[in-house]
Structure 1
Amino acid sequence: MTDAQLSESYLQDAFHSYLKSSLTQAKAEHLLDADVLSSAEGDLMITGPALCLYFAALRCTTNPPSVPLPRHTKNSQPMELSYDNCPAAFVSFLRVWSNTVPAIQALAPEHQHDLARMICNLEPLVTPLQPSLNGIAADLRAVAIEISQRRSFQDRYASDLQVALDSGNPPASPSSKRAAFVPPPVYEASPASSASSSPRSSLDGHSHSPQSSPQYANHNLPPQSPSYLSPPGSAPASSASSGFPPRSPSILAANSPAIEFIRETLYASLADALDHTPALRGLLKTDPPRAYFASVAFAVLDVATTSMTADGAVIGVLGQNLTLAQCPPELRPFMAELAAIGRAARELQEEDDVTAMQCAQRGKAIPASRMDRVRAMLEQGVGGAHDRQERDEGRRSVEGRAVSFTNRINALSLGMTRLKAFRERQGDVFKVLAGIGA
């Protein structure tokens, strides 16, 4: 790090300062109501940071885009976040955000407002829809997903939400609603001298380690999405080569609750994810948070594309089926989304095949497919894969379909793994994954 680079802690403070104001403004504009702000819904982890990025784009006055940072004191000099002073950990975020700024500022005010509504999962008001809004919203939400997995964000998000909830009330009469968001457990890596040791979890959301390096505490931790994982259940044949122990059928009885069935089916696919994506094994050593997050995302994609029937049932572990009608009402949205992801994946694959055939018939080189780009983003994050696979190849659609689809997979992972059943045996899968990566 050079002297010109800002510290990560400085940027974290600045981000959360803007996040509080962004959430407060969204509440004032009725983009988010008190019930949403006080909820513990997984998607709220995406919406908040995405709104912050949106408002930052509106404030930007430089070219190339940079972020004006809040002053520490009234006498502090104005400062902006740019490529010249951005810490390495945030460069990929800045790059993707910068690409959205000209497009956001070029929008008419009514379309800018519709973009904010789309970020908050609200229907746009202007018809027909401005086509570019889908792609812009997808990029902002993709960066927000990356931010939401950082421990520094998770530990402070509840207080950010509470500030927004209390806004508009007299200081002596704060809101009666309390932010229900609770950070996921902390998992800390074993000492380097014991590479085969497994991570430890802290159910109260705090590390049991007496000391942690700033880098590790800030961003080198397993992300939100897989933090509630349990070990895979009845693993497929490939699981033996992947290092996953076979599971006894007694662990999942015929009358097990539907959520346990879904959980074990998802985690059984982790073996295939590691077996079919060799890069994940190396990533377990070099970037465990990304590896953990990517493994879950690939498992969701695998189940959605290989284990769903035409009528939305899941063909799961032990050859059992779970239909949508058998699923408790609170789980049906997850089942429906799994099936929808499977259908969307098949549509993308069919379109990729048509494009490849057309290029071959014309004697042109076959470009990377949308599904290839989706897998790259699942593995590397949008910041790592965005420029190389989306823009340089010139195949990025204005609707940002590959990014949107990747976000959909990640959002489902966030929602599913926050369920209580996923938290019950959360630490074991990290032991398995850590052993594979050792």
Structure 2
Amino acid sequence: MQLSGDNCPPAFIAFLSVWANTVPEIQNLAPEHQHDLARIICSLPPLAQPTNPNLSRIAADLRAVAIEISQRRSFQERYGGDLQAAIDAGEGPSAPTRKVRASFQPPPAYDPSPSPTTTSPHPSPRSDPGDLPQAPSYAHTHTRTTSTTSNGYLSPAASNTEFIDPKSPISRPPSPSILTPHSPAIELIRETLYASLADVLERQPSIRHLLAVDPPRAYFAAVSFAILEVATTCVTNDGDVLGVLGQTLTLAECPRQLKPFMIELASIGNAAREMEEQDDEDAMRLAARGEDIPPPRLERVRYMLEKGVGHHVRNEREREEGGGGRRSVEGRAVAFANRVNGLALGLTRLRAFRERQGEVFKVLSGEY
């Protein structure tokens, strides 16, 4: 069976198109540039000189497609089965009696409450908590300082690392906070991040509409917007996270395994502010010349976070017939959206977040 635009599920068409468009570009690359493309995808510098200016954009598109696939339950359930089969095959007949099980879990699924009058919690279905990745022991012994202010901070790392979430001006928590003065750091991050959802949905109400047509996209869009919100409003210059209930998590206090997440969160916030400043300068320069001002990059990033990769391509092509400068700018926007989405994907795999993922769906569905 051949997959095409005619038989591809509607939710997959956009990123399938992006994926397909990269194929001829990759095939037309010189062998040394194909090798450099693989290095860039693996976060390694290219070797060939002179470098191919298109490689970063192609790598960003491929990463975006990979993230989209990782957010899709149908793909990931198959991946989980294949991973377990590979583990079983590698053990062989002489393997120990105790069977090794893959800790991988697919993205969350949304199961709406049967009645709007139901008062009991109805979280989205998930695997047995015993099968979820175990939270590192340090998360249950870490202590924090408290402050009268609040700030948030996140950072990306491997998918099994902890994540930090903070939020500055918190309108209202989406659900009753379960934090105590001695809650582990990961819970402070989670509750701060989820508390920002109310503000996110006030500014991006269209995310709610996604729940009916594409629940995984709605879930990850909400979390990604919360990350961007926290990164730009709740991280201090020192990299500290000001969380809910006036609690603060400093970078110095942060457990070693969590620091990559915090550093990335702060980096995302700094990059977003620099992007806005550069766009403002470009807009003033273009306006002085009487030229059209393109949409700000951060606006395009938000569009990608909500709609997914590929939805921006048609509008970009209509605005400009594939100009190299425009494609370069768009490539940087895709790369930045990948960072935010990658952080969202990593933190939502953590047990502490999975245990409360039903709260995100409740906020999106208006149950809170």
> Which bracket does the TM-score occupy, shorter chain normalised?
0.7 to 0.9
Alignment TM-score, normalising by the size of structure 2: 0.77
Distance apart, 1:349 and its partner CA: 0.9
2:208 aligned to 271, 278, 281, which one?
A: 281
Distance apart, 1:124 and its partner CA: 3.7
Tell me the amino acid that sits aligned with residue 359 of structure 2. Answer: D
Tell me the amino acid that sits aligned with residue 352 of structure 2. Answer: A
Distance apart, 1:401 and its partner CA: 0.6
Alignment of 1:392 with 2:315, yes or no, is no
Give % identity: 62
Cα distance in 2 for partners of 1:267, 1:239 equals: 10
Give the SS at the match of 1:321.
strand
Cα distance in 1 for partners of 2:170, 2:210 equals: 23
Cα distance in 1 for partners of 2:53, 2:311 equals: 25
2:80 aligned to 139, 143, 158, which one?
A: 158
Cα distance in 2 for partners of 1:429, 1:420 equals: 15
**For residues 11-410 of structure 1, what are the structure 2 equivalents within 5 Å?**
80-126=2-48, 129-161=51-83, 179-190=102-113, 194=115, 200-204=123-127, 236=169, 238-239=171-172, 244=174, 247=176, 251-388=178-315, 390-394=316-320, 395-397=326-328, 400-410=331-341
Cα distance in 2 for partners of 1:332, 1:274 equals: 28
Aligned residues: 324
Residue aligning to 1:413: 344
- Call closer, same or farther: CA 1:128–1:358 in 2, change over 3 Å: same
Give the SS at the match of 2:110.
strand
- Call closer, same or farther: CA 1:131–1:425 in 2, change over 3 Å: same
Give the SS at the match of 2:189.
helix
Gap runs ≥5 in structure 2 = 130-164, 321-325
- Call closer, same or farther: CA 1:196–1:354 in 2, change over 3 Å: farther
Distance apart, 1:303 and its partner CA: 0.6
* RMSD (Å), alpha carbons: 3.3
- Call closer, same or farther: CA 1:384–1:316 in 2, change over 3 Å: same
Cα distance in 2 for partners of 1:436, 1:430 equals: 9
- Call closer, same or farther: CA 1:375–1:284 in 2, change over 3 Å: same
- Call closer, same or farther: CA 1:239–1:392 in 2, change over 3 Å: farther
> Which whole-Å deviations, capped at 9, do the CAs of 1:212-246 have from their partners, x for residues lacking one?
xxxxxxxxxxxxxxxxxxxx999955338xxx35x
Cα distance in 1 for partners of 2:346, 2:116 equals: 31
